[in-house]
Structures are given as C-alpha cells and as structure tokens.
C-alpha cells in the first residue's frame, strides 16, 4: 500500500465513526481540515442572501475569473471550513478567485434545498458582474453531483452555461448502481454502501433515487460545458465517475476523465500529505486556467 495512503487510513480510523448528525459534521470538519489553509490566501466572508459563502483570493490572482465551489459531505455534512484548504490551494494555483458555498444540509433541508442554494450562488456571481465565460462550477463527492445538477437546472431555465465544470469523485447516482460500490467497498476507507444509503435517504426525503435533481447521471446531459472528472481507483464511487463521463461524452460534451491509481475518495483534500493529491491539483488548476482565459486587452 502507498505509505501516504496508509498514514491517512490511520488518521481516519483513529476515532470511531460518529453516528449523529452534529458529531458527523464536526468530525468531517476536523478530518478534512487537518492541514491549515494556505497562509497567503485571503478569505473573506460573503453572503448569498441568507446562505453563507466565502471568497478566497491569493496574491496576484485574477479576481475577474472565479470558481464556484460546492463542497462534498453526502449533502448532510461538509462546510466552508472543511474545504477551505482545498479551495484556497486550487484558487492560488490556478490564479483565480473562488467562492465557496455553505449550502443548506439534509436531513433538515432535503432535496432540492442544496440545488436551490447553488443556483442562487450562480445568480449572485452574475449579479456581481461575472459573465458565464468567467465562471467554472466545481465540487467533490456530493458537491460534484450538485455541480452537474446545477448546470442541468441552468440549461432548463435557459441560462447560459458557465465556462466549465470540475467534478472530483462525483456522487451522481443515489440509486448506487455502480459495480464499484461492491468491488471497492473493502478498499475505500471513507465511503461504504450502507453509509451512502443513509445519506441518500436523508437527502432524498422520500423522492425517487433516480430523481435527476439528486442523481444527474440519469438526466439528458446534452448541452453541458467542457468538464474535467477526477477520481481515485480505490473508491466505491469509481463507477459514478466512469459512467457520467461516458454519458457526458455520448451527449456531445468535451470531457476528460482521470483515474488516479490507489487514490481514495476526494484525496485532493489532503494534498499537503499526498504527492498524487498535489499532482491532481495541478491538473485541475491547468483545466481552470484553460477554461477561464483572461479577457483580451
């Protein structure tokens, strides 16, 4: 086993997995933010109506280009704090501004609350003067599925697409029909079938698991912008990434899939501890720079 991954596994299993929602949320913030965010990045609170959000900007970054980031956590946990380091590092490396959204969580706020919040954040960016070609939407895990659901909702309302989409370990099938759900269950140290089924039930709130607002894998994916999909080979969600890539490509989207050997779910969260995390972040940053080209003078 990769020694860096072995060290992370030890970190994850140092304490028992919490069972109630407040403890789960606290534990995720602790684990995902175990490394401090970049010291030179300036983080500024923002508000999308009543929804908390946070800008980040590194020295020399171009504030006219922005990544709207939607955190993971199975729609039930995760926060601006848990993903602050990841978002700040990516923004700094890509040389762009970021806006991280603290969307409402289930089970208190089931589907489509998170989707409505993400749409509000996109509208907020437009009201701040950002044109679609100056925006990329991205997210990990549930945030990856939420990214795609947001783009589908924008298409349905006739709004222009952003410049691109970045999906990290995306959870796009709450029916959980991918073969890797079983094949990688003993390998993935974070995400297991029973755990995901509980999260899905909390977010769906009685809706069909194939509801396109929660499971965009089952939607018509025509009209989606250029997309980068990144996933680890040791994830139960590996097949979510593979299947959504195929469906995006079949629908006419330009899409690139990267499968990183031995990497675990949302491994870029721990990039300071993982060589492959830093390498994948560099690839993602290059994608963001390519999609968010500066305006011609």
Q: Is residue 191 very low, low, confident or very high in pLDDT (cuts 50, 70, 90)?
A: confident
3-state helix, strand, coil in the chain (%, to 5): 40, 20, 40
Q: Is residue 296 very low, low, confident or very high in pLDDT (cuts 50, 70, 90)?
A: low
pLDDT average, residue stretch 12-17? 86
Q: Which residue has the tokens 């993903």?
A: 83
**Would you say residue 297 has pLDDT above 90?**
no
Of 32-36, 49-53, 127-131, 293-297, give the lowest mean pLDDT range: 293-297
Write out the DSSP string of 15-69: SPPP-SHHHHHHHHHHHHTSSPPPTT-EEEEEEETTEEEEEEE-TT-EEEEEEEE
Q: Looking at residue 136, what is its pLDDT?
A: 98
pLDDT average, residue stretch 263-280? 97
The Cα 32–Cα 28 span in angstroms is: 6
pLDDT average, residue stretch 41-54? 96
pLDDT average, residue stretch 128-147? 98
Residues tagged active-site: 141, 235, 265
Distance of CA 286 to the CA centre of its chain: 17
Segments in 95-183 forming alpha helices (H): 113-127, 142-156, 180-183
Q: Looking at residue 42, what is its pLDDT?
A: 98
The Cα 88–Cα 59 span in angstroms is: 11
Q: Which two tokens stand for residue 226?
A: 């250029």
Burial of 56 (0-12, 13-18, 19+ CB in 10 A): buried
**Would you say residue 22 has pLDDT above 70?**
yes
**pLDDT one-digit tens code per residue, 170-190:** 999 999 999 998 888 888 888
pLDDT average, residue stretch 149-161? 97
**Would you say residue 72 has pLDDT above 90?**
yes
Q: Is residue 16 very low, low, confident or very high in pLDDT (cuts 50, 70, 90)?
A: confident
pTM comes to 0.97
């Amino acid at each position: 086993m990769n020694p860096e991954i072995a060290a992370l596994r030890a970190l994850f299993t140092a304490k028992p997995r919490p069972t109630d929602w407040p403890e789960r949320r606290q534990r995720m913030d602790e684990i995902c933010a175990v490394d401090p965010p970049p010291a030179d990045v300036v983080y500024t609170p923002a508000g999308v109506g009543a929804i908390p959000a946070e800008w980040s900007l590194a020295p020399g970054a171009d504030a006219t280009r922005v990544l709207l980031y939607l955190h993971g956590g199975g729609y039930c946990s995760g926060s601006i704090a848990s993903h602050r380091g990841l978002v700040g590092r990516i923004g700094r490396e890509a040389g762009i501004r970021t806006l991280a959204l603290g969307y409402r969580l289930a089970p208190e706020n089931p589907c489509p609350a998170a989707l409505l919040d993400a749409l509000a954040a996109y509208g907020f960016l437009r009201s701040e003067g950002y044109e679609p070609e100056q925006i990329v939407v991205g997210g990990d895990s549930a945030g990856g599925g939420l990214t795609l659901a947001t783009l589908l909702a924008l298409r349905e309302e006739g709004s222009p697409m952003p410049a691109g989409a970045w999906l990290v370990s995306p959870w796009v099938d709450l029916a959980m029909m991918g073969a890797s759900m079983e094949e990688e269950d003993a390998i993935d140290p974070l995400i297991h079938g029973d755990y995901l089924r509980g999260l899905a039930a909390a977010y769906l709130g009685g809706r069909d698991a194939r509801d396109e607002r929660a499971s965009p894998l089952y939607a018509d994916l025509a009209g989606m912008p250029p997309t980068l999909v990144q996933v680890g080979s040791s994830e139960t969600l590996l097949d979510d990434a593979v299947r959504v890539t195929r469906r995006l490509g079949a629908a006419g989207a330009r899409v690139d899939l990267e499968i990183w050997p031995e990497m675990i779910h949302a491994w870029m969260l721990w990039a300071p501890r993982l060589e492959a995390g830093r390498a994948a972040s560099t690839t993602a940053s290059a994608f963001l720079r390519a999609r968010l080209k500066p305006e011609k003078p």
